[in-house]
Amino acid sequence: MSTRALFRTGTAGVALAMLGFSHAQGLSDTINLQTSIGSFKMIDGKGLTSFSFEGTVLLIEVTGTVRTEGNLKLEFDDPRMKRKAYYGKGRITVEGSWRGIQWFGSNLLGYVKGNSKIRLTGEFDRNLSTGSYWYGNKVNEKFPWYTSGITVVVPEDPRLSPKPTRRGGYGG
Q: Does 103 map to a domain?
A: yes
Q: Does 54 map to a domain?
A: yes
Q: Taking the CB of residue 17, how many other CB atoms lie within 10 A of it?
A: 11
Q: What is the pTM of this model?
A: 0.77
Of 75, 36, 38, the C-alpha closest to 59 is 75
Instruction: Measure the CA–CA gap between 49 and 32, rounded to whole angstroms.
Output: 10
Tell me, what's the pLDDT at 23?
41
Tell me, what's the pLDDT at 164?
61
Instruction: Measure the CA–CA gap between 129 and 35, rounded to whole angstroms.
Output: 8
Range in 84-88, 136-140, 160-164 with the lowest mean pLDDT: 160-164
Tell me, what's the pLDDT at 11?
42
Q: 99 pLDDT exceeds 90?
A: yes
> Per-residue pLDDT tens for 21-60?
444 445 578 999 999 999 999 999 999 999 999 999 999 9
Residue 89 region by backbone torsions, left for phi larger than 0, else alpha for psi between -120 and 50, else beta: beta
Of 151, 51, 142, 144, the C-alpha closest to 105 is 51
Range in 25-29, 69-73, 79-83 with the lowest mean pLDDT: 25-29
Paired with 108 in beta bridges are 35
Domain of 59? 28-157
Paired with 10 in beta bridges are none
Q: 69 pLDDT exceeds 60?
A: yes
Tell me, what's the pLDDT at 109?
98
Q: Does 7 map to a domain?
A: no
Question: Average pLDDT for residues 124-134, to the nearest whole number?
Answer: 93
Q: How many domains does the chain have?
A: 1
